[in-house]
Chains A and B, each alone.
Chain A
Amino acid sequence: MTDQTYPALATANRNTSPTNASVKTQRLANQIMLFAIALVVTIVFAFPIYFMVSSSFKAENEVLASPVHIIPEDFQGIAQFQKAFETVPLGRYFFNSFLTAGIDVVVTVFFSALAGFGFAKYDFRGRRIFFFFILTTMTIPFQVLLVPLFIEVRSFGWDDSYAGLIVPGIMNAFGVFMMRQFAYGIPDELMDAARIDGASEFRIFWRIVFPLLAPASASLSIIIFLWSWNNFLWPLIVIKNQDLAPIQVGITAFTQAHSAEPQWAVAMAVSTLATLPVAFLFIFFQRYFIEGMTMGGVKG
């Protein structure tokens, strides 16, 4: 095939001659069919989330109505949300979750950038072995750490405390790995220019490198927030005091509700609230959200 026929054929293949009406109809039919399939698939996947949100406005006996009420018939307004705050210390739960996730994000992003920069741009003794060490911690499932980490934290006197809840999660190997990849891309000349101006190495990091890592920091912040916010297993075992429990643990009061009247609508209201911060991040920072998640490979 010669060079001349190639582009002609390619256009013929894609842009099938606009004069041909039957081909046009065919393409429209294709479009409609694709949309229809995608719509059905999307409804199947999005329905449980819609059910969660809509049920938080339903009356208790309406949640399990069969067939399901797509739109709440006995609309409750924010009554179930108010009830949720009365039933459990929801404000505390949210405060604890925001506190944990906030500290996790700030500390992880700072130290990941610092270490990632150190690994990418300096050549010191032990660089390879230290990096390999941090990388291997990524392969360790948390279940393996569960027992010994709990015993260690307990020996510090940190069980059932904010320190025990927060400190083991303030650094993240994935963050170091990710920041190192991005730090490689920073030109050495920028750093050298600053050195000639007499800037210290830390100042170079703080004033030049860290701002340049902002897009990576944004993705990392979101993924760390997500992991921290959705974390369940560690707070489950380290926290006994309900006043220190994050929302994901606090919410379990509703999963094991063996009481005479299970409060499904209230549970849905709490679930909706607990998902709101993540949904907010997804809607407003979609690009960073998706980039962070795709790189991280673990759903929170």
Chain B
Amino acid sequence: MAVRTVKGSSYIARRQYWGLAFVLPTVIFFAIFFLFPILSGIYYSFTDFTLLKPPVFVGLQNYQDLLKDRLFLKSISVTLGFVAGTTIPAWILSLAAAVLFFQKFKGREILKVFFFAPVLPSLIVVAIVWKILLHPSGVLTTVLRPLTGAGEINWLDNPALSPISMIIITNWTIIPFYMLIWLAGLTGIPTDLREAALVDGANRLQSFLRVELPLLRPTAVFIAAISTINAFQGFTLQYAISPGKGGPIDVNTTMSLLVWKYGFQFYRMGDASAVSMVLFAMIMIVIAVQLWLTRQNQY
């Protein structure tokens, strides 16, 4: 900022306090509605706390109990399965879709708009629509009948199939969204780079793998990170359409759903807080890896 001599430096120094005044409402808000709850959440995780009586400090008891809690241990593997099923396939398929819609052909723009449609409804609406599509003798069963030959498929009630159904639905709703982010990345690559590679004798695939994909690395890391973080928070679908909110036999009880169950179904606020802290730690690891990968990218 240029030095202003007109009114002297004390004026400039005083002016900076306006900046403080501008950010203060937001800072105070986040102190009240983020910092305070986070800190009290950490505290609650060390307490025996039902809503009926005030929290009693119990040290590490909740965490020790979690180690023996079969539902909690199961929720970790349920969550990891959901993460695996909604990150890697979504990453690959959304990239493939982006490459497809990056090609020039007639009707591309209108098809792209319709392809994007699954992103619009809320997850609750998605859940209701798919509950009908996944009816045992519903649309998906009918479409797959030539392959499976099955008259009825219990997409939601079969313990082996149910988590896969959640994964299919989630992929359906996130792939068009990630496709759009890939597409923004692809559009950002200067065309002369691609042409230079083609001139130098590279074929389309080589040009894509050697020139474009390395340049898309920030996008690739971003999509990998947000899809993982979002998957760790998987809740709404499992809540809304798996039988008995997380069933059958808890195969869809994600950690997020368990936080809700312990906290708001059983009113075991201490246990719920402890589960949420474990979830928090897992997401922090993902974020740390993302930061590390993007830092690697900067030299």
Residues on A lying within 8 angstroms of B by beta carbon are 1, 6, 9-10, 13-14, 31, 34-35, 37-39, 41-42, 45-46, 48-49, 51-52, 55, 63-64, 66-68, 111-112, 114-115, 117-119, 121-127, 130-131, 133-134, 137, 139-152, 167-168, 170-171, 173, 176, 188, 192, 196, 201-202, 205, 229-230, 232-233, 237, 248, 251-252, 254-255, 264, 267-268, 271, 274-275, 278-279, 282, 286, 290, 293-294, 297-300
B window 98-124: CB within 8 A of A: 100-101, 103, 105-108, 111, 113-124
CB distance from A154 to the nearest CB of B (A): 8
CB distance from B130 to the nearest CB of A (A): 7
Q: Does B132 contact A (CB under 8 A)?
A: yes
Chain B residues, Cβ within 8 Å of A117: 22
Given contacts A143-B260, A264-B132, A268-B132, 12 further A-B contacts (CB under 8 A): A31-B105, A48-B130, A48-B172, A115-B27, A127-B23, A145-B37, A149-B37, A150-B263, A201-B18, A274-B125, A275-B121, A275-B125
Q: Give the CA-CA distance A202 to B18 in the complex, in Å.
A: 8
Against A, the Cβ 8 Å flags (1 = close, 0 = not) of B207-250 are: 00000000000000010001001101101100011000000000
B window 106-150: CB within 8 A of A: 106-108, 111, 113-125, 127-133, 135, 137-139, 142
Say which residue of B175, B226, B272 sits within 8 Å of A45 (CB atoms). B175
Say which residue of A35, A130, A143, A255 sits within 8 Å of B256 (CB atoms). A143
Q: Are B129 and A271 in contact (CB under 8 A)?
A: yes
Q: List 30 A-B contacts (CB under 8 A).
A: A6-B199, A35-B106, A35-B111, A48-B133, A63-B132, A64-B137, A66-B142, A122-B22, A127-B19, A137-B34, A143-B260, A144-B38, A145-B34, A145-B37, A146-B263, A148-B44, A171-B33, A188-B1, A188-B2, A201-B18, A248-B124, A252-B124, A255-B128, A255-B131, A271-B129, A274-B121, A282-B116, A290-B180, A293-B119, A299-B174
Q: Are B38 and A143 in contact (CB under 8 A)?
A: no
Interface locus among B63-71, B157-165, B277-285: B277-285
Chain B residues, Cβ within 8 Å of A121: 19
Q: Give the CA-CA distance A290 to B113 in the complex, in Å.
A: 11
Q: Are B30 and A46 in contact (CB under 8 A)?
A: no
Chain B residues, Cβ within 8 Å of A151: 40, 44, 51, 269
Q: Are A237 and B273 in contact (CB under 8 A)?
A: no
Q: Give the CA-CA distance A117 to B24 in the complex, in Å.
A: 12
Q: Are B105 and A148 in contact (CB under 8 A)?
A: no
Report, as a range, how many residues of chain B touch the other chain: 35 or more
**Most B C-beta atoms less than 10 A away, residue of A146, A170, A192, A275:** A146
Q: Are B125 and A52 in contact (CB under 8 A)?
A: yes
Chain A residues, Cβ within 8 Å of B172: 45, 48
CB distance from B212 to the nearest CB of A (A): 17
**Most B C-beta atoms less than 10 A away, residue of A119, A171, A196:** A171
Q: Are B125 and A134 in contact (CB under 8 A)?
A: no
> From DSSP, what is the main secondary structure of chain B's interface residues?
helix
CB distance from B188 to the nearest CB of A (A): 11
Chain A residues, Cβ within 8 Å of B6: 196
A230/B107 contact (C-beta < 8 A), A64-B137, A141-B279, A151-B269 known: no
Q: Does B289 contact A (CB under 8 A)?
A: no
Chain A residues, Cβ within 8 Å of B2: 188, 192
Against A, the Cβ 8 Å flags (1 = close, 0 = not) of B162-197 are: 000000000011111100110010000000000100
Q: Does B10 contact A (CB under 8 A)?
A: no
Against A, the Cβ 8 Å flags (1 = close, 0 = not) of B1-27 are: 110101000000001111111110111
Q: Give the CA-CA distance A127 to B137 in the complex, in Å.
A: 60
Chain A residues, Cβ within 8 Å of B269: 147, 151
CB distance from B51 to the nearest CB of A (A): 8
Say which residue of B37, B106, B230, B259 sits within 8 Å of A152 (CB atoms). B37
Q: Does B198 contact A (CB under 8 A)?
A: yes
Q: Give the CA-CA distance A174 to B222 in the complex, in Å.
A: 15
Q: Give the CA-CA distance A36 to B240 in the complex, in Å.
A: 35
Q: Does B276 contact A (CB under 8 A)?
A: yes
Q: Are A143 and B17 in contact (CB under 8 A)?
A: no
Q: Give the CA-CA distance A123 to B133 in the complex, in Å.
A: 56
**Most A C-beta atoms less than 10 A away, residue of B34, B41, B100, B277:** B34
Q: Give the CA-CA distance A137 to B111 in the complex, in Å.
A: 37
By Cβ-Cβ distance, the 4 closest A-B pairs, closest first, are A122-B19, A118-B22, A230-B122, A201-B18
Say which residue of B37, B200, B235 sits within 8 Å of A148 (CB atoms). B37
Q: Are A141 and B117 in contact (CB under 8 A)?
A: no
A252/B240 contact (C-beta < 8 A), A115-B25, A123-B16, A294-B184 known: yes
